[in-house]
């Protein structure tokens, strides 16, 4: 074998048959194409030379979404970091897979979970095998990892005033959260002034109802966001009246264990409530352009407050970095003053900034995912520090369309013959609405009864006129006044009248067959 290889090399032969060209991918060029401009960093923030240059890649951008300026209002990442689910104001939920996407960044599934309702929140379970979809309806929906619907939880009776006696929510949903320890439990918040604890095995009724009462004469208030603590021992809820409530999960939920009125400005929508790993630190993102850090051990005033952080959408959230040294949130653009920003703020109150404009953000290892108000989602990553994720998609070129792909697409295409005979005419190419309109005018298909003939008769039908109608109703029908007995007696026999039907034997008389005795029959035989 070695001699053959040496002989082929000496003759300049590399092998037999046509050799396929090896595809080479310029990884550095692809990374460079996704590079963003150098961020502007203040003196008190991190230096650009201290860490590898951050780079970005657009996970997905739908042209129609960008033109319609639909906000991506919800974003969630599964625990493995391989898949992302997004929801927006165009009513769609989209599933993305880093391992299956190429450089075009297209979702592998898209659908409308609640038709014409915005998607408010999305949450993956702790195992990543299912996720919750919270839309503008009063019913939460549970889906499998691949987007197959598992359950739609019941809607409550809107005519029952006591919220404890309803089997489900009666108002628009706002947020949800999974129990960190028990995989079958989750909570939802709603405009009906309740937080409800659900079991995924029972979609007909919630497990527990937490009724939130406002200080304003005991009226209801909308619960805008909710969350579990990291150990699952506390539930927090932020309300439209500005209050922040915390309940212990081992209590009866009659009243909050901790509560502070005026945590945020009244009638502003608090976008998120998040617990830290220490169990006593709570982070809230208010609709009053503030981000506040609270300590449950001294629940009277915020530990830290960040102001001048504008937001235009109620879904804007704030989260902790994986090491919980920084708080990450988005700030909306102010026309004529500043663009949208992605803020990384230390927990001590100092702030740095990075020039993006998200409406919601999520931290994932060495990558940052941010959903924007222009209908797109961005992934910030480092070619040196990041592993997998967006790096897999950037270096994977889209598959080229070959003649075989075109032939396969055209092979099963319908052949339309619009000028053929009516009996062979194909209507598959006609839209459903146009076909129904045409069938509606067909009297045979619709079984429409024949209308009366006006004017002279035609088609074997006698015509009618107004004069004929008047004449027919001039004389009254008296058959109803006739005595039925008298009518039958008209056919009765008169004296001496023979009622036989025929007179064939009237003169000759009847001729009957002769009756034979049994002895005569035997002799004849």
Share of the chain above pLDDT 70, in %: 70
Q: Give the list of residues 6+ apart from residue 305 with CB closer than 8 angstroms, or none.
A: 290, 291, 292, 293, 349
Q: What is the pLDDT of residues 463-503, one digit of tens each?
A: 766 777 777 778 777 888 888 888 888 877 666 666 666 66
Where residue 423 falls among pLDDT bands split at 50, 70, 90?
low
Q: Give the list of residues 6+ apart from residue 41 with CB closer than 8 angstroms, or none.
A: 47, 48, 352, 353
CATH code of domain 28-399 = 2.130.10.10
* Residue/partner pairs of 297-306 with CB below 8 Å, 24 or more apart: 299/246, 299/258, 299/259, 299/260, 300/260, 302/263, 304/347, 304/348, 304/349, 305/349, 306/343, 306/345, 306/349, 306/351
Q: What H or E segment, with its residue span, contains residue 237?
A: strand 234-239
133 three-class SS: strand
Report the range of poorest mean pLDDT among 7-16, 284-293, 463-472: 7-16
Tell me the range of 301-310, 420-429, 488-497 where mean pLDDT is highest. Answer: 301-310
Closest by CA to 70, choosing from 118, 137, 121, is 118
What pLDDT is attached to residue 303? 92
Strands 130-135 and 223-228, by their bridges, are unpaired
312 has a pLDDT exceeding 80: yes
Q: What is the pLDDT of residues 21-66, one digit of tens each?
A: 656 666 666 666 666 655 444 444 444 344 443 333 344 333 333 3
Where residue 512 falls among pLDDT bands split at 50, 70, 90?
low
Q: What is the pLDDT of residues 215-253, one digit of tens each?
A: 887 689 999 999 999 999 999 999 999 999 999 999 999
Q: What angle do CA 61, 65, 68 make, to 5 degrees?
A: 145
Q: What are the distances in angstroms from CA 435 to CA 65, 301, 442?
A: 31, 67, 11
Tokens found for residue 235: 């539930």
Instruction: Give the domain ranges of the chain.
Output: 28-399
Q: Give the list of residues 6+ apart from residue 101 with CB closer than 8 angstroms, or none.
A: 59, 108, 392, 393, 396
Q: Residue 361 in contact with residue 370, Cβ under 8 Å? A: yes
Q: What is the pLDDT of residues 104-155, one digit of tens each?
A: 888 999 999 998 999 999 999 999 999 999 999 999 999 999 999 999 999 9
pTM of the model: 0.68
Nearest-10 Cα torsion for 314, 134, 274, 179 = 170
| Region of residue 476 (left: phi > 0; alpha: psi -120 to 50; beta: else) | beta
Tokens found for residue 177: 């959260």
Nearest-10 Cα torsion for 392, 394, 396, 399 = 140
What pLDDT is attached to residue 244? 97
Q: Give the list of residues 6+ apart from residue 406 with CB closer than 8 angstroms, or none.
A: none
1 has a pLDDT exceeding 60: no
Q: Residue 310 in contact with residue 332, Cβ under 8 Å? A: yes
**Cβ count within 10 A of residue 495:** 4
Mean pLDDT, rounded, for 198-203: 96
> From start to end of 373-413, where are the E strands?
376-381
323 has a pLDDT exceeding 60: yes
435 three-class SS: helix
Mean pLDDT, rounded, for 374-394: 79
Phi then psi dihedrals of residue 418, to 5 deg: -70, -20
Closest by CA to 369, choosing from 379, 359, 382, is 379
């Amino acid at each position: 074998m070695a001699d053959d290889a040496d002989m082929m090399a000496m003759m300049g032969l590399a092998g037999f048959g046509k050799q396929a060209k090896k595809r080479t991918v310029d990884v550095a060029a692809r990374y460079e194409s996704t590079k963003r401009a150098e961020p502007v960093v203040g003196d008190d923030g991190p230096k650009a030379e201290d860490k590898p240059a951050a780079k970005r890649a657009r996970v997905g951008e739908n042209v129609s979404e960008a033109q319609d300026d639909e906000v991506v209002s919800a974003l969630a990442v599964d625990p493995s970091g391989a898949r992302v689910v997004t929801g927006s104001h165009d009513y769609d939920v989209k599933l993305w897979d880093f391992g299956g996407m190429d450089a075009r960044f297209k979702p592998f599934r898209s659908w409308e979970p609640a038709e014409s309702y915005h998607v408010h929140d999305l949450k993956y379970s702790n195992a990543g095998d299912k996720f919750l979809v919270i839309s503008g309806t009063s019913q939460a929906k549970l889906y499998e990892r691949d987007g197959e619907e598992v359950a739609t939880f019941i809607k409550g009776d809107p005519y029952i005033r006591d919220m404890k006696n309803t089997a489900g929510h009666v108002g628009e949903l706002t947020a949800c959260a999974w129990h960190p320890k028990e995989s079958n439990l989750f909570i939802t918040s709603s405009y009906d002034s309740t937080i409800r604890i659900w079991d995924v095995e029972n979609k007909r009724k919630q497990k527990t109802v937490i009724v939130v009462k406002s200080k304003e004469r005991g009226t209801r208030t909308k619960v805008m966001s909710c969350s579990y603590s990291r150990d699952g021992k506390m539930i927090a809820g932020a309300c439209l009246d500005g209050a922040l409530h915390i309940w212990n999960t081992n209590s009866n939920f009659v009243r909050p264990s901790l509560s502070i009125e005026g945590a945020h400005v009244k009638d502003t929508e608090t976008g998120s409530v998040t617990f830290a790993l220490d169990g006593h630190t709570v982070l809230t993102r208010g609709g009053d352009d503030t981000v506040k850090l609270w300590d449950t051990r001294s629940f009277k005033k915020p530990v830290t407050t960040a102001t001048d952080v504008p937001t235009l959408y109620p879904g804007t959230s704030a989260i902790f970095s994986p090491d919980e040294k920084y708080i990450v949130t988005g700030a909306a653009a102010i026309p004529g003053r500043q663009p949208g920003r992605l803020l990384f703020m230390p927990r001590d109150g100092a702030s740095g900034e990075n020039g993006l404009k998200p409406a919601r953000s999520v931290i994932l290892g060495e990558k940052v995912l941010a959903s924007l108000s222009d209908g797109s989602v961005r992934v910030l990553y480092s070619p040196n520090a990041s592993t997998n994720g967006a790096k897999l998609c950037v270096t994977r070129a889209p598959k080229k369309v070959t003649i075989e792909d075109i032939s396969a697409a055209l092979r099963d295409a319908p052949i339309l013959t619009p000028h053929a005979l009516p009996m062979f005419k194909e209507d598959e190419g006609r839209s459903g609405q146009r076909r129904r309109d045409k069938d509606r005018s067909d009297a045979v298909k619709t079984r429409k009864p024949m209308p009366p003939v006006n004017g002279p008769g035609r088609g074997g039908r006698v015509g009618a006129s107004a004069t004929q109608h008047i004449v027919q109703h001039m004389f009254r029908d008296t058959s109803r006044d006739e005595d039925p007995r008298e009518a039958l007696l008209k056919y009765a026999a008169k004296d001496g009248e023979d009622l036989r039907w025929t007179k064939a034997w009237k003169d000759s008389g009847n001729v009957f067959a002769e009756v034979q005795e049994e002895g005569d029959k035997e002799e004849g035989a």
